[in-house]
Chain A
Amino acid sequence: MIIGQIRDGIVLDHITAGRAMEIYHVLHLGELDCMVAMIQNTDSVKMGRKDIIKIGQVIDLDFAVLGYLDPGITVNVIRDGALVKREHLSLPAFLRGVIRCKNPRCITSTEQEIVHEFRLTDPAKRTYRCVYCDTVAGREP
């Protein structure tokens, strides 16, 4: 299977195997009118298996969302066929409007205009807590 190099665009590398489809949906890549290629379960020296997404144009990415979903991802920006920027992601210290608090007693459950915000309280356990009610984020990253 051969997927060619891109001239201008972004390569999301080192995606945890099996996570590419989720990232594809969260980043709304299906709404782009450029080429998007998704490679799943390809061999990786570092990871054993990994996923890769290639996007055929340079778009603004929400690094906080990506870092939360999969902090091991490497973002490569390609221009005129050359690598111009490589970004290694990490867990963001703060998430704004990315995930929602599931605590029915939280003020965010009744006042819809409040943006849901979480702060990273334990990087080792990847624990995020709601800044309003301290409830742990429901999703296990």
Chain B
Amino acid sequence: MKHLIDIMDLTVDELDAMIATALDIIGNPVKYSEACRGKKLATLFFEPSTRTRLSFEAAMYELGGNVLSVSSGASSSAAKGESVADTARVVSCYADIIAMRHPKEGAPVVAMRNASIPVINAGDGGHSHPTQTLADLLTIRREKGSFENLTVGLCGDLRFGRTVHSLLLAMSRYAGVRFVMISPEELSLPHYLISDVLEPNGIPYEEMRDLDAAMPQLDILYMTRVQRERFFNEADYIRLKDAYILTPEKLVSAKPDLCIMHPLPRVNEISVAVDDDPRACYFKQVLNGKYMRMALILKLLEVKV
């Protein structure tokens, strides 16, 4: 039985196959509309989320399946002190596949070890969010046609931004990719990603503090939100939250085919004036996320269409 806990659980070949499935779903939605008839997805969300939970549920409905949903920890038996292990065992009796979001890092690993059905990590604290990376990868594939020879700018909260870490890991497996990390020093990329991933694999990278200076070379600009919930100290959050804001003026020096991405929700790090720019891809990411979650559910349930 296969699970998805971390984006690196998937080989490049598996990712390519899932992207092919997602593109086929986009082209032939009717072909997949009954693919999961009689199957149930349990969405166990012990932390607030709108997009991810709705995306999973929409994905399952569009495959003809059904959904059982826990939308907050307060409304579940977790509030009574039930362990993640017990929750996974119990839900395995009701559903065919689990998508779990949990504030504690590693909770999906515990669920995976105790469930008798596939488990998808839908975000565990600041650690990992592999299905967001699936959305990001399909977006890059559709916008750029390939993953190779791209200069990827990562901007904002690179220290706590789990989507940035997963995207960097996933993209580092493709030839000719280079990274430009744009952040204040306090929110710079964790050093282990440089020492364990970029340097041993000879992947070029540059750390910059100035978004304007970085802009002209970028093929992809991945903006992130400085998240209040990742800080222990409110004063640090307030000081850093507005550090990097993307505006139409900043885009003047950007490439005409730049792909602007953001995992959402945005607070103010991308001005709404950018939304009408044809290079803004962040709402396309949302739609692509649904298609990749459909492809993932099909893969983990071993449904052939």
| A-to-B contact residues, CB < 8 Å | 103, 105-111, 113-114, 121-122, 130-136
Contact = CB atoms under 8 A, between A and B. Distances in A.
Contact of B125 (A105, A111, A131): A105
B253 interface: no
Given A107-B84, A111-B83, A136 B106 contact: no
**Best-surrounded residue of A130, A134, A136 (most CB of chain B within 10 A):** A134
Given A113-B83, A132-B110, A105 B192 contact: no
B196 A106 contact: no
B20 to A, nearest CB: 30
Interface string B103-125: 11111011000000000000011
Contacts of A136: 192
A108 B196 contact: no
Interface of chain A: mostly helix, strand, loop or mixed = loop
A103 B103 CA distance: 13
Interface string B126-163: 11000000000000000000000000000000000000
A133 B106 contact: yes
Given A105-B126, A106-B104, A107-B109, 10 more contacts: A103-B105, A106-B106, A107-B102, A107-B110, A108-B106, A111-B85, A111-B110, A114-B85, A130-B106, A135-B105
Interface of B: 83-85, 102-107, 109-110, 124-127, 192, 196
5 contacts: A106-B104, A106-B106, A107-B124, A110-B104, A121-B196
Contact of A132 (B103, B105, B126): B105
Contacts of B105: 103, 105-107, 132-135
Contacts of B106: 106-108, 130-133
Contacts of B127: 105, 133-134
A133 to B, nearest CB: 4
Contacts of B85: 111, 113-114
**Best-surrounded residue of B102, B105, B196 (most CB of chain A within 10 A):** B105
A130 to B, nearest CB: 7
Contacts of B104: 105-107, 109-111
A28 B196 CA distance: 36
A98 to B, nearest CB: 17
A105 B107 CA distance: 10
B268 to A, nearest CB: 26
**Best-surrounded residue of A113, A121, A133 (most CB of chain B within 10 A):** A133
